[in-house]
Amino acid sequence: MSETEPTALVVVGHHRAGSLTAAVAERAAKRLADRGYRVDLLDLEREGFDPRNSVADEPDYSDRDKRYSDEVHAHIARVHAADVIVPVFPVWWYGTPALLKGWIDRVWNYGLAYGRSKSPMAGKRMLWIGLAGLAEDDPLSELTRDLLDKTLRIGVSQYCGIPGAHTLALYDSEGQDLEGEARDRHYEALFAKAEAAVDALLD
């Protein structure tokens, strides 16, 4: 592994090992590795990340150098080390599950991710991949895409100084009404969309 090898942090925001979310994250991670990235795969559940906030991790807006919990500093070090960040998660109530939301709440903290004249996130690229149970032609799918894009790409990434961020919604993640090979083909198409989004992020 060379010192100059770029790093990608792939974050899995799902509680269940073997979820489709985890499979999409693995495919995205493999694509990043194939494109020459050292991949840091962060599975929040398997690493025992606690999404609940605490007084220790509340921002103190009079002190941007506040020392937060060791867990938060360990996680932000992995974020800072990454050139590319790819959170993968199931869409729950038009947003991220609490597991991933808590990671953003605690780790993307004042002084660590935002609140400095020179952004600690400058130059990074980011791709949020949300798996949605809704069918793509569902009247609510546009709202899903719009809400994810506004809250995550603009609200989190851009706010923290990452203009090069994108969101991707993968619809019909439960493959309802599909069986056997048709279902496999559907999942393969979702993987391909995630890989294409990774390629677009890097190109």
The residues of the shown chain that bind ligand FMN, judged by CB under 6 A, are 14, 19-21, 90-94, 131-134, 144, 173-174
State which amino acid sits at residue 109. N
Which CB atom, from 37 or from 49, has the smaller least distance to ligand FMN? 49
In angstroms, give the least distance from the CB of 180 to ligand FMN: 18
Alpha-helix runs per DSSP H in the chain:
20-34, 70-81, 98-107, 141-148, 180-202
* Cross-strand pairs, 125: 84
In angstroms, give the least distance from the CB of 21 to ligand FMN: 3
Which CB atom, from 115 or from 133, has the smaller least distance to ligand FMN? 133
State which amino acid sits at residue 90. P
Q: Which residue is nearest to ligand FMN (CB)?
A: 133
Which CB atom, from 14 or from 31, has the smaller least distance to ligand FMN? 14
In angstroms, give the least distance from the CB of 77 to ligand FMN: 28
State the Cα–Cα distance between residues 115 and 52, nearest whole angstrom.
22
Which CB atom, from 26 or from 174, has the smaller least distance to ligand FMN? 174
The tokens for 153 are 């790409």
In angstroms, give the least distance from the CB of 167 to ligand FMN: 14
State the Cα–Cα distance between residues 88 and 14, nearest whole angstrom.
8
Distances in Å between the Cα of 21 and the Cα atoms of 33, 60, 81, 123, 133 are 18, 34, 24, 27, 12
